[in-house]
Amino acid sequence: MVNYRYLGRSGLKITELTLGNWITAGGQVAQDAAIDTVHAALDAGITSFDTADVYMNGAAESVLGKALDGQRRESVEIFTKVYFPTGPKGPNDTGLSRKHILTSIDGSLTRLGTDYVDLYQAHRYDHETPLEETFQAFADVVRAGKALYIGVSEWTAEQLTAGHALAQQLGIQLISNQPQYSALWRVIEGKVIPASQELGISQIVWSPLAQGVLTGKYLPGAAVPEGSRATDEKGGGKQFISRFLTDEVLSAVQGLVPIAADQGVTLSQLGLAWVLHNDNIAAALIGASRPEQVVENVKASDVVLDDDAKEAIDAVLAGAATTDSALTEEVSPTTRLV
């Protein structure tokens, strides 16, 4: 079964392996298969689920809602996000304005088939909306009982600090950040994690297996597997994985094979255990296109890497991992997308 961790400096516990449905549900995976994957996650002990209104323009939320229909609502934790263009993608169908937030939360709740979400996240920082307006809208969402807690995604240390201060003034809890993080993408370690530890904010990290590269299925000099994320143009998988598909990176990943064998785990389990070794990580988001992938990945919750194994992994990937903390400044669009 999957272990639980507290989310930020709150009393909310979530499963340290959380099922996300960014590229899968409503995208690469047919609805029935996506629902089967959610049910497999529940059977394996995962109770936390992450989605966003922008994923397949709402379709991913709808699939998750169908998959969780009939479950005791109090026994699951549902996270969704707001920022990116949705619906007809008009001028106010994007960003973190009061108008977009209040419209979006109602749409998300309808698609998810629930009265509230446990965590409502700002999917990026909105440079075109005053931060005070954004957090006042979030406070109203919380006070209306439509969300229990507030989180963000891919915010810098400075943005987290400013947002946390406003949340405190308004009497709500900003408890999480959702950045990309893996043994190959470590840019949050320099500034974001230290600031988060001081503020009482946890990370719910996406792409903990570097878009699947840390599973070892992509080999140096070989064609990418048919049907893999590297071939997904519709959902954006191909774009995100491209930075990792170099011979240098793929060769380094193959160097992890003996470490995984020594630990008695798969490469996937090794990569997830590496992420969970950091105590500021509340959860690693796992994606799955088949139930059996969930069954394999949840075993990582029982894997505890000692410091020597962690250091061995870091040494193998030293030349291939990206660590520049300045890259966190480049994630949020400077103008809203349309």
Q: What pLDDT band is residue 289 in, cutting at 50, 70 and 90?
A: confident
Integer angstrom CA distances of residue 302 from 16, 19, 120, 240, 269: 11, 17, 29, 29, 9
Question: Number of folded domains in the chain?
Answer: 1
Average pLDDT over residues 80-90: 95
State the pLDDT at residue 24. 58
**pLDDT confidence tier of residue 30, bands split at 50, 70 and 90:** confident
User: What's 258's domain CATH number?
Assistant: 3.20.20.100
Q: Give the pLDDT mean for 245-261.
A: 97
In a domain, 41, yes or no: yes
Q: What is the pTM of this model?
A: 0.94
Q: Say which residues have a Cβ less than 8 Å from residue 72's Cβ, sequence separation at least 6.
A: none
3-state secondary structure of 180: strand
Q: Which domain holds residue 206?
A: 4-330
64 located within any domain: yes
In a domain, 155, yes or no: yes
Is residue 209 domain-resident?
Answer: yes
In a domain, 336, yes or no: no
Position 338 in a domain:
no
Q: Answer whether residue 329 shows pLDDT above 70.
A: yes
Percent of the chain with pLDDT over 90: 84
Q: Summarize the confidence of residues 93-119 as an average pLDDT.
A: 98
Which of the residues are catalytic? 55
- Report the candidate in 174, 171, 153 with the shortest Cα–Cα distance to residue 163: 174
For the cut 70, the answer to whether the pLDDT of residue 250 exceeds it is: yes
Q: Looking at the domain assignment, is residue 67 inside a domain?
A: yes
For residue 231, pLDDT over 50 is answered with: no
- E strands, the chain, are 4-6, 13-15, 17-20, 48-50, 77-82, 117-122, 147-152, 174-177, 202-205, 281-286
Tokens of 35: 């629902």
Mean pLDDT of the region 72-82: 98
Is residue 135 situated within a structural domain?
yes
Beta bridge partners of 122: 82, 152
Q: Report the pLDDT value the prediction gives residue 236, as an integer from 0 to 100.
A: 55
- Per-residue pLDDT at 304 exceeds 90: yes
Q: Say if residue 234's pLDDT is above 70.
A: no
pLDDT tens digits for 256-272?
999 999 999 999 999 99
- Taking the C-alpha atoms of residue 276 and residue 304, their distance in angstroms, rounded to an integer, is 9
Mean of pLDDT over the chain: 93
Helix (H, G, I), strand (E, B), or coil: what is residue 218? coil
